[in-house]
Every structure is written in structure tokens, then in C-alpha cells.
Amino acid sequence: QDPAKLTDWDDDYPDEEIIREDLNTKKARLLLIDGVLAGYVAMSDTDEYLSRIFPHLSKAAFLSRLVIKKAYRKQGTAYRFLSEIEKEAVQLGYQYFGIIITPGNIPSIALAEKLGFRFYREEEFEWGKALAYYKSLEMYYRFVSWNVNGLRSIMTKGFPDFLKLVNADIVALQEIKMFSSQADFSFPGYHAYWHSAAKPGYSGTLVLTKTEPLSVSFDFPFGEHPKEGRIITLEYPDFYFVCVYVPNAQRDLARLGYRMQFEDDFRKFLTELDQRKPVIACGDFNVAHQPIDLKNAKANEGNAGYTIEERTKMTELLNSGFIDSFRELYPEKVEYTWWSYLLKARERNIGWRIDYFLLSERLRQKLVDSFILNDVLGSDHCPVGVILKR
């Protein structure tokens, strides 16, 4: 966008120089309605007002320079725009919002209160008085899942920084490919629950949680399955959290038979949990459910991960009382979570969406957002996540 076009509806506020600076530092958030630029806001965690007025707020972001084009005002546009910005802030791991408003700006004060901001104090600046408001974002759960394709490798590729940045309540990892006894690292602020495969360097899952669960269990409580470290279940007062790494049917479909057994037992397991309390199940499900979930659907028919058998099992699971959180919110959005290492597939975005967050149907009203962090590198998969109301 040409920054000059951003100022044509509101004189020179914010002026072009400020907007260019915000765009260059990635602070700007633009609102498009039917392709028309309708609004602008800046979000920063280094703003001078943030450190001056809210020094006690950690992991906080400051909102400033909100402008809505006149044609879109008084229609709830600002409320919806800032609600979307709030989702992004939660996704990025911020715990608080801070804003300042001039005392005479009655519409902005009303908007802040409608969005749940609380008055903090009045502050005197060189340009006059302002009212400071803040809002806690801790009314949400943030859950993230990632097939890391080797935990030791990902630890050297920025995973500790990612863990701090995403600031999730629970992080579920698949294909860790190591034993806990081999770890010469830790995860500060998290309880870690490992479930490694018996075979060294293969499969395995790990769940990191800020809150200690009521109980932790591994694998299915029934049936015979190889010790491949594929399921961890954490029980909390209000829900079950299940991390799963579903077996790959393999290129020649050599494990398709076992895959079908695993799918049936997994569906039985989740439905039994769901009878007690809501379930959040996430991980690498190793299946692209619908044609929209992979780049070349026609060419991959019958291949592992896109056989009619695997897709039917996913349909049966969803029909057993669960929703695909991403498709629930974005039925036509094309995004992928896995790319082959061959032929620059990720660079060309030739991928598959095989990593999911499935939710019990009765959690539908608590679903705020479901996201795919496809710009996070380090594995052939990327992280996925959900935001739920507490």
C-alpha cells in the first residue's frame, strides 16, 4: 500500500512519516474491507508510553494511532478491527494491552470499555492530559502443537526463543526422536511430560504445560499397540488435552492396516473421554482430509496420507462429536502445515495440511481462533494452534 493513501480521510493524523516508520518496523496493522483500505492501528511492545505508564506489565503491547475511514465509522468497524488485533496479540503471547485516550474523546473511551479495558490512571504529558487504560488477555487459553522432526535439532534452531514468544499454556510436540534421559536442556516455566518410543531416534511425543495437570496417562488403556510413544493425555478440571502422533501408512501403504486399527482405537478413546469432559486433541494426524488440504489432490489420490481409507477415518472421527477447529473458522482458507524437503516444496508452497486441533463439539462456542504459523521454520512441519475462552 502507498502510505500516502492512508492519510486522505483524516487530514494528517497519523501523518505519512509516522505511517512509513510503522510499516518499516512491522508495527502497522491495516484493515481492508472488500479490498478497500478502511482502517489503521499501530501495535508495539517497545512504545515509550508503555514503559512510562505501564512498567509493571510484562509481555504487554501498546495500541496507538487508531484511525477508521469516515465511511466505515459508527458501524462497529473499530470494535471488530481491534477484536481481530486482540486475537493476534494473544497468538503472539502478549498478556496485556495498554492504550491512552484524551479525556474528551468520548467515542474512544466507550470503545475501550466495550472491549473490556479498565481505567488505570490519568497521566500528564507535554502535550496535555491522557487517560491510561489496560486490559488483561489472560482470559484465553493458548495451545500450540508442532511436529518438530527431532527435538534435539529444533533446540539449535531457535525453539527456546519460539517457546518464549508464543507463550502458550500448553505446547504439544510430536516426533521428538529422543529419550528424556538424553536431554541436556530444560523448559523453564513448564512441566514436561515425555513419551518416547522404545526404538531410539524414532517417533515419540512431549507435552509442555504451565499448569500441572490432575493426571497424565500414556497410550490407549486398551488394545495391543507397539511402544512408539504416540499418545499423551493430560487431565485438567475442565477438559482433557490429548497429544497424538498418528502412524504414517508409509509410501507403499505397508502400515495402512495398522493405521486403521489405530484410528478405530483412537476414535473409541476420544469418545470415551468426551463422555466425561470436553476433549482437545492435537498433533500430526498424517492425513489431508479434503482436497483443499493439499496442493495436488488429484495426483496424490491413493498415496499415504490421502487414501480414501485414511480420509474416511477422519470423517468418522469428526462425526463422533468433534470439530476441526481450523475448518470451523476458515472453511475455504488454503494453508498447509507440512512440506516435503524435496524440490523446494516449502518455498513453492506445495504442501499438505495434516496437523490439526480437534475439539469436542461443545467447545465450539469457546473457540476464538485457530491458526497456522507457516513462517516458523526448523522442521518440515510448522506449528499450529488454537485460542479458546477460559
d(CA 324, CA 179): 31
Catalytic residue ranges:
245, 284
Rg (CA), the chain: 23
Domains of the chain: 3-136 (3.40.630.30), 140-389 (3.60.10.10)
Write down the pLDDT at residue 180.
95
Comparing 225 with 10, the larger pLDDT belongs to: 225
Cβ proximity of 387 and 141 under 8 Å = yes
Show Cβ contacts of residue 161 under 8 Å, excluding neighbours closer than 6 positions.
none
Read off the pLDDT of residues 358-378 as tens digits, 9 standing for 90 and up: 999 999 999 999 999 999 999
Q: What is the mean pLDDT of residues 300-309?
A: 97
Confidence of residue 179 (pLDDT cuts 50, 70, 90): very high
At residue 291, the pLDDT reads: 98
CB 300 within 8 A of CB 294: yes
- Read off the pTM: 0.77
Binned at pLDDT 50, 70 and 90, residue 336 comes out as very high
pLDDT in tens, 250-260: 989 999 999 99
**H or E element in which residue 78 lies:** helix 77-91
The answer to whether residues 140 and 390 touch, using CB atoms and an 8 Å cutoff, is yes
Work out the percent of the chain whose per-residue pLDDT is above 70: 96
pLDDT confidence tier of residue 12, bands split at 50, 70 and 90: very low
Return the pLDDT at 277. Answer: 96
The rounded distance, in Å, linking the Cα atoms of 383 and 151 is: 14
Please state which of the ranges 112-121, 142-151, 264-273, 314-323 shows the lowest mean pLDDT: 112-121
